[in-house]
């Protein structure tokens, strides 16, 4: 861990540095965006302002121009008036008075002109005439008498407002002179440059119009115009008031400053109107050209904002908003990144811890395995010593203590074994065997293991293997047994009433059933047609094995029936897959009606050392490791395990296991195993089974059928008797077919709930005594025996049923009868064996005295004379030629000299003797032996009948073998080959 942190530090620092750089960069980028946006918006608003300015400026310029033009036109009209009335009338119809009066009255038409005056053109030659005519002297602008000039332009008529310029020579002023010269040359209105007007002191310009003596064509030459000039009409334009007047009409735009310039001389603009304020700030301005009639002069108007245009609010708010958003986005990315980083780091740490935990777990398993193993060794010693101690003389207290210690020790050992198992499985060290085994006998073993417990608790314990499951399978019988033992053991522990039912099917059918019956509750109540209604007790509502409700209702009669028909169907077709070693998937379920597993504990049922709750171990004991081992084993067998459990109703554990088909010859070999052979003496028997519970009857039927007994099931005793009567009719008199009558203790039909054999006798229609069936009661517990007072002990078959128990009970119960049948059998078979062996002298060689005694007993029974020896050497001594033995049964495994060796020596001996006979050395002393080859039939006795042993037997000169302990049929076969019956 530490090293990892050290490793992560530099990268972390670098990462942090990187991170802050990113933050700074992001802030800078955001600020840039802000600035860019701000500038953009400002520019937009500026452009808008400029556009506004342009339009306003143009508007003002146009208006100004219009006004100006109107005024100029009036002056023009006045000029025409002067020319008309002053020059074309003789004498002139105009004098100062009239002019003043007219102009004053038409002044409203020239609001912009402060006044108009008319100056006459006077050449120097006419000066004196003119002066005398007018009565005054021509004066200059400075009011001095005019010096001599070529020409003069003295004002003769003037509006009253400008009467002060009367008699002044307009040509004396520089500006006016120029104006006059230009006007008469062009014949159009002419303006002066702006100057301060006399009187108002406003800036203004003077407009001058030429007046000709006659109308002139528009394209006359300049000299002609000068020649035709009669005088000049002039007016002063008060530009300042003109513009102010105009602007005041356009109120509401005070923010605009307007300046009007005379730009005839472009480099030196002359101001005509406008406050002479400094610009002060850079403001957008617009220049509009003005056309004031006079083509020589050029004017323009300059507009600008009076105030600095305010920065629009949006130029601040919008970028600020964007900035905030940017920052937020940045923060989100940053936070997410940080979080991702943290999570990644946490994940890495987690991984680290997980690795450690796993390592610790492995270490724990190893430790557990080692320690368990180490504990087991001394524990075995302790247990052994305790055993020995218990064998010694102890007083009762001491014995109690020692027994307690032993029980505890055993519990500890079994726990340790379980833990070891578990550890082995976890370490993957557990290998499964693949051997041939008989599933049914394994289940029988398991059943017998729990039989005493089930009887104590009065629980119905039953096993059923469907017919299509092959008899012999390849797999690991020990582990298979362990799984079932675990499950059944658990069930027994938690079941106080009802039943435990183990079934084995082939997977495909069970699946089919499951699919067909999705709802378990529907088929609970429909067996009234089968059971006698009067006998259905309060809690026997469910159609299961014991009548109690089961968690998984696959075993109700309805389902079971379907299943049975399916499995029998497939048995017919089953021969198809016999030879190959295809996997066989078995479907095993263990159903109980116990306490069930609490819902909250169901998820951890298969977790080791986990029990439903802590009180479980107090009440029921156990370590809670069994199920997890079972799960592991099932998985090793390529299967699955699951369960259905309903609290207070029961649980059904189901598992699948992959086993293999067994080769034919292997199966046969298996069948020879002495331990698993079921007696065949019941073949051909017929049984009538009275059972109101169909499921249970199927189980009973299964066991009986394994014994070769055909079964007919009926619901009550009356039906049974009817069935039996019908059956009886089919028997031929003297037929060996026998009938037995089996009754479930709770289905024993009569009205008072019990009956006796006598009742059956009574009801059996006066049948002959010989045909009366033997009656058996199937009982779950000892207590039930009391229900049938009239019956003998032998008439009970105690549950749980298994084929061998049933066989034993039947044998005992049928006692005398069976003996008879055996005798009958002996009558068929017996004469041959008896005939073969009677009077024969047989030597039996076996070091095992028990075997010896048994073999002797058996052979004696068939009338043989038997001698016994306990070793090969003794046998050799006895068999020195000549001897009178007809046969020898020889044990194979013996100390000192085994059966093979002894046989070899005997054969050697016999050969020598035969040689002697041939060469005539040997004189026949006895008629019996004379002239015959010595060859004593020697049969090996062996427990393990395998091919190799047989071959060895033949190799060393034996004639055959018999299995040990003797089996009648096989013994007969072996002996028949060797001993001629003719002998007797």
Partner 1 sequence: MASTQLKAQLNDLLNSMFAMDFLDEQFKQLQMLEDGSCPGFISEVITIFCDDAERILSLITELLSKPVVDFEKVDAYVHQLKGSSSSVGAKRVALVCIKFRNVCQESDKEGCIATLHEIRREFDELNKKFRIMLQLEQQIQALDSKR
Span of 53-61, 521-529, 600-608, 962-970 interacting with partner 1 by CB under 8 A: 962-970
Q: Which residue number, 27 or 405, has a Cβ lying nearer to partner 1?
A: 405
Query: Across-strand partners of 501?
Result: 462, 591
State the number of binding residues for partner 1 (CB under 8 A): 48
14 contacts partner 1 (rule: CB under 8 A): no
Backbone angle region of 622, left / alpha / beta, with phi > 0 → left and psi within -120 to 50 → alpha: left
Distance CA(696)–CA(462), nearest Å, equals 8
From residue 372, how far is each of 151, 365, 423, 546 by CA, in Å?
149, 10, 10, 41
833 binds partner 1 (CB under 8 A): no
Q: Tokens representing 475?
A: 């797999």
Q: How far is the CB of 858 from partner 1 (least distance, A)?
A: 6
Angle between helices 439-457 and 477-494 (to 10 degrees): 20
What minimum distance in Å lies between the beta carbon of 742 and partner 1?
Answer: 16
Q: Which of 544, 595, 858, 903 binds partner 1 (CB under 8 A)?
A: 858
Among 746, 739, 859, smallest CA distance to 810 is for: 739
Residue 375 CB neighbours (<10 A): 16
Listed in sequence order, the residues at least 6 apart from 572 whose beta carbon sits closer than 8 Å to its beta carbon are: none
Q: Which is nearer to partner 1, 379 or 536 (CB)?
A: 379
**What is the smallest separation between the CB atom of 930 and partner 1, expressed in angstroms?**
34
* Closest separation in Å from C-beta 850 to partner 1: 3
Residue 126, token pair as written in the block: 């006419």
Give the residue, chosen from 851, 914, 949, 970, that forms a contact with partner 1 under the rule CB under 8 A: 851
Q: 218 CB contacts (<8 Å, ≥6 apart)?
A: 187
Q: What is the largest CA-CA distance in the chain?
A: 224
Minimum distance of partner 1 from residue 6's CB (angstroms): 50
Residue from 538, 850, 948, 982 binding partner 1 (CB under 8 A): 850
Two structure tokens written together for 863 = 């009338």
Among 73, 318, 794, 949, binds partner 1 (CB under 8 A): 794
Reading the block at residue 196, the tokens are: 């301060």
Contact 495, 645 (CB under 8 A): no
Looking at 434, 857, 884, 915, which residue binds partner 1 (CB under 8 A)? 857
Residues 365-404 that bind partner 1 (CB under 8 A): 376-377, 380-381, 383-384, 387
965 makes contact with partner 1 (CB under 8 A): yes
Token pair recorded at residue 101: 């009066």
Is 622 a binding residue for partner 1 by CB under 8 A? The answer is: no
By beta-carbon proximity to partner 1, the closer residue of 34 and 966 is 966
Q: Is 200 in the site for partner 1 (CB under 8 A)?
A: no
Q: Is there binding between residue 570 and partner 1 (CB under 8 A)?
A: no
612 contacts: CB under 8 Å, gap ≥ 6: 597, 598, 601, 605
Q: Which stretch binds partner 1 (CB under 8 A): 151-159, 325-333, 724-732, 963-971?
A: 963-971
Residue with tokens 């289940």: 443
| Out of 23, 325, 427, 677, the residue judged to bind partner 1 by CB under 8 A | 677
How many Cα neighbours within 13 Å face the side chain of 219? 0
| Binding pattern for the stretch 872-891 against partner 1, x by CB under 8 A and - elsewhere | -------------------x
Draw the binding track, 425-464, toward partner 1 (x: CB under 8 A; -: no contact). Answer: --------------------x--x--xx------------
- Residue 895 interacting with partner 1 (CB under 8 A): yes
Q: Which residue has the tokens 């006044």?
A: 115
Half-sphere exposure of 949 (CA within 13 A, CB side): 16
Report if residue 233 touches partner 1, rule: CB under 8 A.
Answer: no
Kindly indicate which of the ranges 138-146, 328-336, 852-860, 876-884 contains the residues binding partner 1, using the contact rule CB under 8 A.
Answer: 852-860
**Minimum CB distance to partner 1, residue 847 (Å):** 7
Does residue 623 bind partner 1 (CB under 8 A)?
A: no
What 3-state DSSP class applies to 360? helix
Show the site string, 473-512: x = touches partner 1 by CB under 8 A, - = not. ----------------------------------------
- H/E stretch holding 449 reads helix 439-457
Q: Residue from 811, 821, 914, 970 that binds partner 1 (CB under 8 A)?
A: 811
Tell me the closest approach of the beta carbon of residue 703 to partner 1, in angstroms.
13
Closer Cβ to partner 1, 381 or 598, answer by number:
381
Strands (E), 133-228: 151-152, 155-158, 190-191, 195-196, 203-212
Distant-in-sequence, close-in-space partners of 709: CB < 8 Å, separation ≥ 6: 682, 683, 685, 686, 687, 740
Chain position carrying tokens 């300042």: 240
Question: Does 943 help bind partner 1 (rule: CB under 8 A)?
Answer: yes
980, burial (CB in 10 Å: exposed 0-12, middle 13-18, buried 19+):
exposed
Q: Is the dihedral of CA 164, 170, 176, 181 positive or negative?
A: positive
Tokens of 56: 């306003």
Residue nearer to partner 1 on the CB measure, 62 or 873? 873
Q: How far is CA 421 from CA 284, 427, 978, in A?
A: 98, 10, 52
Q: Which is nearer to partner 1, 475 or 749 (CB)?
A: 475
Q: Are the C-beta atoms of 451 and 800 separated by less than 8 Å?
A: yes
The two three-digit tokens of residue 116, written as one number: 């108009």
Query: Smaller CB distance to partner 1: residue 854 or 929?
Result: 854
Closer residue to partner 1, CB minimum distance, 436 or 627: 436
Residues near partner 1 (CB under 8 A): 376-377, 380-381, 383-384, 387, 413, 445, 448, 451-452, 674-675, 677, 679, 792-794, 798, 804-805, 808-809, 811-812, 819, 822, 847-851, 853-855, 857-858, 860-861, 891, 893, 895, 943, 964-966, 968
């Amino acid at each position: 861990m530490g090293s990892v942190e050290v490793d992560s530090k530099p990268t972390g620092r670098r990462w942090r540095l990187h991170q802050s750089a990113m933050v700074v960069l992001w802030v800078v980028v955001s600020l840039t965006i802000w600035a860019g946006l701000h500038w953009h918006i400002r520019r937009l608003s500026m452009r808008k302002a400029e556009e506004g300015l342009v339009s306003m400026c143009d508007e003002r310029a146009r208006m100004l121009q219009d006004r100006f033009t109107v005024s100029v036109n009036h002056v023009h009209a006045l000029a025409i008036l002067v020319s008309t009335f002053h020059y074309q009338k003789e004498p002139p119809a105009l004098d100062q008075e009239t002019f003043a009066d007219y102009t004053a009255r038409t002044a409203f038409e020239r609001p912009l002109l402060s006044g108009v005056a008319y100056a006459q053109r006077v050449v120097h030659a006419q000066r004196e005439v003119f002066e005398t005519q007018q009565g005054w002297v021509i004066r200059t602008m400075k009011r001095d008498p005019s010096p001599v000039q070529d020409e003069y332009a003295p004002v003769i008529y003037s509006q009253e407002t400008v009467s002060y310029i009367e008699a002044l020579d307009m040509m004396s002023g520089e500006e006016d002179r120029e104006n006059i010269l230009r006007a008469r040359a062009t014949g159009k209105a002419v303006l002066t440059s702006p100057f301060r007007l006399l009187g108002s002191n406003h800036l203004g310009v003077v407009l001058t119009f030429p007046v000709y003596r006659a109308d002139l064509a528009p394209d006359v030459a300049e000299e002609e115009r000068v020649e035709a000039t009669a005088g000049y009409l002039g007016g002063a334009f008060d530009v300042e008031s003109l513009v102010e007047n105009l602007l005041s009409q356009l109120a509401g735009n005070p923010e605009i400053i307007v300046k009007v310039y005379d730009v005839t001389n472009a480099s030196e603009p002359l101001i005509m109107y406008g406050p002479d304020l400094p610009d002060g700030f850079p403001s957008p301005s617009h220049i509009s050209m003005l056309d004031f009639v006079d083509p020589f002069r050029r004017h323009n108007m300059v507009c600008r904002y009076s105030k600095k245009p305010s920065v629009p609010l949006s130029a601040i708010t919008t970028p600020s908003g964007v900035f905030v958003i940017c920052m937020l986005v940045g923060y989100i990315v940053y936070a997410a990144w940080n979080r991702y980083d943290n999570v990644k780091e946490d994940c890495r740490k987690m991984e680290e811890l997980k690795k450690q935990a796993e390592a610790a777990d492995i270490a724990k398993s190893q430790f557990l395995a080692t320690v368990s193993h180490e504990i087991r060794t001394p524990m075995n010693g302790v247990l052994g010593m305790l055993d020995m101690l218990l064998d010694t003389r102890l007083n009762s207290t001491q014995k109690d203590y020692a027994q307690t210690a032993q029980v505890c020790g055993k519990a500890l050992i079994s726990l340790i074994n379980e833990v070891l198992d578990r550890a082995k499985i976890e370490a993957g060290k557990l290998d499964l065997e693949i051997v041939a085994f008989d599933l049914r006998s394994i289940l029988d073993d398991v059943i017998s293991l729990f039989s005493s417990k089930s009887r104590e608790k009065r629980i119905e314990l039953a096993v059923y293997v469907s017919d299509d499951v092959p008899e012999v399978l390849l797999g690991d019988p020990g582990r298979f047994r362990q799984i079932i033992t675990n499950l059944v053991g658990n069930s027994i522990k938690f079941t106080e009433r009802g039943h435990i039912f183990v079934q084995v099917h082939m997977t495909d059918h069970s699946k089919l059933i499951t699919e067909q019956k999705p709802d378990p509750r529907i088929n609970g109540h429909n067996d009234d047609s089968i059971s006698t209604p009067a006998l259905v007790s309060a809690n026997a509502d469910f159609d299961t094995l014991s009548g109690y409700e089961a968690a998984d209702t696959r075993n109700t009669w309805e389902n079971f029936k379907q299943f049975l028909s399916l499995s029998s169907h497939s048995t017919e077709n089953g021969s198809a897959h016999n030879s190959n070693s295809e996997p066989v998937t078995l479907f095993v379920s263990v159903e109980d009606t116990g306490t069930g597993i609490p819902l909250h504990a169901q998820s951890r049922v298969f977790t080791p050392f986990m029990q439903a709750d802590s009180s479980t171990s107090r009440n029921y004991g156990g370590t809670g490791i069994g199920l997890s081992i079972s799960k592991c084993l099932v998985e090793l067998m390529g299967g699955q395990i699951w369960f259905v459990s309903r609290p207070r109703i029961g649980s059904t554990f189901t598992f699948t296991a992959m086993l293999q088909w067994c080769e034919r010859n292997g199966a046969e070999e298996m069948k020879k195993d002495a331990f698993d052979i079921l007696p065949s003496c019941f073949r051909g028997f017929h049984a009538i089974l009275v059972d109101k519970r169909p499921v249970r009857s199927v189980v009973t039927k299964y066991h009986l059928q394994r014994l070769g007994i055909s079964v007919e099931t009926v619901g009550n005793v009356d039906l049974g008797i009817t069935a039996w009567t019908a059956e009886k009719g089919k028997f031929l008199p003297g037929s060996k077919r026998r009938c037995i009558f089996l009754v479930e203790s709770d289905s024993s039909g009569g009205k008072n709930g019990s009956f006796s054999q006598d009742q059956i006798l009574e009801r059996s229609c006066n049948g002959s005594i010989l045909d009366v069936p033997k009656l058996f009661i199937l009982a779950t517990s000892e207590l039930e025996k009391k229900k049938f007072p009239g019956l003998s002990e032998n008439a009970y078959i105690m549950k749980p049923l298994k084929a061998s128990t049933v066989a034993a009970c039947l044998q005992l119960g049928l006692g005398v009868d069976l003996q008879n049948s055996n005798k009958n059998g002996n009558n068929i078979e017996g004469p041959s064996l008896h005939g073969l062996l009677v009077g024969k002298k047989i030597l039996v060689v076996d070091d095992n005295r028990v075997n010896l005694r048994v073999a002797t007993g058996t052979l004696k029974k068939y009338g043989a004379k038997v001698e016994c020896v306990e070793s090969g050497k003794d046998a050799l001594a006895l068999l020195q030629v000549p001897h009178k033995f007809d046969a020898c049964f020889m044990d194979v495994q013996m100390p000192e000299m085994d059966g093979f060796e002894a046989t070899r020596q005997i054969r050697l001996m016999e050969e020598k003797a035969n040689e002697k006979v041939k060469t005539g050395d040997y004189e026949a002393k006895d008629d019996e032996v004379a002239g015959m080859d010595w060859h004593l039939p020697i049969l090996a006795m062996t427990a393990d009948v395998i091919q190799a042993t047989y071959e060895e037997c033949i190799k060393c000169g034996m004639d055959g073998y018999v299995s040990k302990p003797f089996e009648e049929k096989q013994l007969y076969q072996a002996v028949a080959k060797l001993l001629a019956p003719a002998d007797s």
